[in-house]
């Protein structure tokens, strides 16, 4: 409904929905910011608490808000462009010889020239179809053809060695197995293992963001269903006998009762 999915995917196929609860996540970030702003209002101006009006629709639309102005200006609904950009070229995802993918965004003139030299096609710099960014956007498919061929003839590691040496803005499009094995991910401890009754260890993303003085830490994994029921009810004044009776009567579930 936000229009986000209509901009995602390829023109000759159906729109692509995000594979995650993107609207919930975006709204959550806006919500965290709103809470901080509201608290700051109380702290600095001795204000009162506020009601935060935060649906799922508005935050997700903010990601593509420029579409409204473009439509008002042109009167046209833009087609989906896949991984290409409508304003810079070359910019796309390319398949490697070993079935992996690399994302490249040569968005400035110097980077495009660096990329052409890296793949041995310095001649493209003199071709009027690719001389400027506007030319390249207009001829995106022809511009990408030699890049496609170069990357397809090499493995991910071989390609990345070339692009890193040439300082080209290229990066692997990681599957989760690659992400978990990456030295940078490991060094930053982006993933942490927490004990889990069924898996032994459960990998979870670390605290984000990390503050210098109060970086925070994950103290425990998510509780099992009913794990804290007795604890919560006891703080409300229920004694052990009452809680046990509620469990026997099926009114509540305790951790040991959940299959």
137 close to 88: Cβ distance less than 8 angstroms:
yes
With vertex at residue 120, the alpha carbon angle to CA 117 and CA 123, rounded to the nearest 5 degrees, is 75
Q: Which of 50, 57, 121 is nearest to 90 (CA)?
A: 121
**Structure letter (DSSP) for residue 182:** -
Rg over CA atoms, the chain: 26
24 annotated active-site: yes
Say if residues 195 and 221 touch (Cβ distance below 8 Å): yes
Asked if 147 and 91 touch (Cβ cutoff 8 Å), the reply is: no
User: Among 191, 187, 223, which Cα is nearest to 208's?
Assistant: 191
Q: Exactly one of 24, 98, 201, 257 is catalytic; which is it?
A: 24
**Active-site positions?**
24
């Amino acid at each position: 409904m936000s229009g986000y999915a209509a901009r995602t995917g390829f023109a000759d196929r159906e729109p692509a929905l995000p594979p995650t609860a993107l609207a919930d996540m975006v709204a959550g970030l806006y919500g965290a910011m709103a809470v901080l702003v509201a608290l700051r209002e109380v702290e600095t101006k001795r204000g009162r608490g506020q009601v935060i009006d935060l649906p799922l629709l508005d935050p997700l639309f903010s990601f593509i808000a420029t579409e409204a102005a473009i439509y008002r200006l042109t009167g046209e609904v833009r087609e989906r462009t896949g991984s290409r950009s409508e304003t810079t070229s070359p910019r796309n995802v390319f398949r490697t010889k070993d079935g992996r993918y690399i994302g490249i965004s040569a968005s400035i003139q110097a980077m495009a020239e660096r990329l052409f030299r890296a793949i041995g096609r310095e001649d493209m710099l003199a071709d009027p179809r690719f001389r400027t960014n506007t030319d390249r956007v207009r001829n995106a498919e022809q511009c990408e053809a030699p890049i496609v061929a170069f990357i397809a003839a090499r493995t991910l590691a071989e390609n990345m060695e070339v692009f890193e040496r040439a300082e080209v803005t290229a990066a692997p499009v990681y599957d989760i197995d690659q992400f978990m094995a990456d030295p940078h991910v490991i060094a930053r401890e982006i993933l942490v293992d927490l004990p889990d009754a069924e898996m032994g260890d459960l990998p979870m993303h670390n605290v984000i963001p990390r503050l210098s003085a109060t970086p925070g830490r994950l103290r425990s994994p998510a509780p099992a269903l009913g794990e804290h029921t007795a604890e919560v009810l006891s703080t409300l004044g229920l004694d052990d006998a009452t809680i046990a009776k509620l469990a026997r009567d099926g009114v509540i579930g305790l951790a040991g009762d959940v299959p």
